[in-house]
Amino acid sequence: MTDGVPARGSLRSRGAAVASTLTLRQLSAVLPPERAWGLWLSRQIVAGIMDAFGPSLAGARVESIDTRLPDGRRVVGEWVRGPGVRRTDAVVYFVHGSGYALCSPRTHRRVTAWLSRLTGLAVFSVDYRLAPRHRFPTAADDVRAGFDWLTRQISPERIVVAGDSAGGHLAVDLLLQPEVAAARPAALVLFSPLIDLTFSLAAQRERRRRDPAIRAADAIRLVELYCRGTDPTHCRLSLDVAGGPVLPPTLIQAGGAEMLAADAERLAADITAAGGSCELQVWPDQVHVFQALPRLSPEAGKAMAYVAKFVADSLHVGTVGPMRAGSPRAHARSSTGAEAS
């Protein structure tokens, strides 16, 4: 564990976990993701939570992207730049979570804007296609296309890959691909990554501590919308991190109250076994992707500040946050992006 991670969660974050157990966990048990109305309602609930309890969007600029690579692959997403962000020497490539079916760059815009503001870097958030309309490997292929598009603009060594939840699985899948591994991206940052798509690890942990947001049995129903029809032992679903290419320097943060803490622990062990460098932080009493919910979890700010320092160290830039105008490394940019809303 990293020095500075508290021994116990704050009263507010522990209260939020209790409230989630009484509400969100109960709703996830009764909303059928296989039915169109259940999936629609689940999407509305998650989007509402992210907006209500996420960080401020004040001053953030958003630029929508819809383009194609020379080989015809489509890339959809958005650039998010926090206030004062002018750096062009490095970027963050963000892969949102969603159980492959729920979220989008829009739902995660508050956290990507915060990440941009804290790191001083533009964040490209890829808008991969969702299940159940688009099943495996569509999302993974879209994530690869987004990365390939970025590398046409900036050296891979200046790209930090980040993802949360199922986006963590997609990010690791990306970095295990031989061509991407050989390109040597700068670093990997993961919030509550999902690694075991069978949820066996999560179920084992759930027997010791109940996840406040969702049961393993309900989560797997959602993920099956993406994986249905594919053998779960497929190499891009059951990721061989310990036996694959060495991942970039990695920071993993997970909540101590969530079942996916078990996935985070397994992934950290596998990265180390492969010869990689990994720092694992399990924040006591925190819920799934607590970093996106600073109005519920005061610890989110401290965790994100640590992420910003990790990114700066990985890129060897020495400082974090937006560059001041007139800095020798600052570059003037036209404000073509729309103001966030």
- The pLDDT value recorded for residue 322 is 63
- The pLDDT value recorded for residue 2 is 57
- The pLDDT value recorded for residue 331 is 32
CB atoms < 10 A from the CB of 217, how many? 13
What confidence category does residue 259 fall into, taking pLDDT thresholds of 50, 70 and 90? Answer: very high
- The pLDDT value recorded for residue 320 is 63
Q: Using alpha carbons, select from 94, 51, 62, 117 the residue that is nearest to residue 185.
A: 94
CA 303 to CA 115: how far, in whole Å? 11
- DSSP class of residue 290 equals G
Segment 145-154 shows an average pLDDT of 98
Which tens digit of pLDDT belongs to each residue from 79-117? 999 999 988 999 999 999 989 999 999 999 999 999 999
Maximum CA pair distance of the chain?
56
CA 244 to CA 328: how far, in whole Å? 40
Domains and CATH numbers, the chain: 19-318 (3.40.50.1820)
Instruction: Please determine, for residue 204, whether its predicted confidence score (pLDDT) is greater than 80.
Output: yes
Which tens digit of pLDDT belongs to each residue from 37-65? 999 999 999 999 999 999 999 999 999 99
Instruction: Please determine, for residue 233, whether its predicted confidence score (pLDDT) is greater than 90.
Output: no
Start-to-end Cα distance in the chain: 37
Rg (the chain; Cα; Å): 19
Q: Using alpha carbons, select from 150, 114, 147 the residue that is nearest to residue 128.
A: 147
> Which residue in this structure is represented by tokens 């989007």?
47
Least confident of 18-22, 247-251, 257-261, 270-274: 18-22
Retrieve residue 10's tokens.
């704050």
Instruction: Please determine, for residue 237, whether its predicted confidence score (pLDDT) is greater than 60.
Output: yes
CA geometry: angle at 267 spanning 255 and 184, to 5°? 115
Catalytic entry in 116, 165, 297, 314: 165
Identity (one letter) of the amino acid at 49?
Answer: I
Phi, psi of 74 (to 5 degrees): -90, 140
Q: Using alpha carbons, select from 255, 332, 244 the residue that is nearest to residue 292.
A: 255
CA 117 to CA 321: how far, in whole Å? 6
- Those residues whose C-beta lies under 8 Å from the C-beta of residue 198, and which sit 6 or more positions away, are 220, 232
> Which residue in this structure is represented by tokens 């992420």?
307
What confidence category does residue 266 fall into, taking pLDDT thresholds of 50, 70 and 90? Answer: very high
Instruction: Please determine, for residue 333, whether its predicted confidence score (pLDDT) is greater than 50.
Output: no
Please state, for a pLDDT cut of 90, what percent of the chain lies above it.
Answer: 89
Instruction: Please determine, for residue 329, whether its predicted confidence score (pLDDT) is greater than 80.
Output: no
Assess whether 165 carries a catalytic annotation.
yes
Q: Are 235 and 168 in contact (CB under 8 A)?
A: no
Cis peptide before 137 (omega within 30 of 0): yes
Q: How far is CA 233 from the centre of its chain?
A: 23
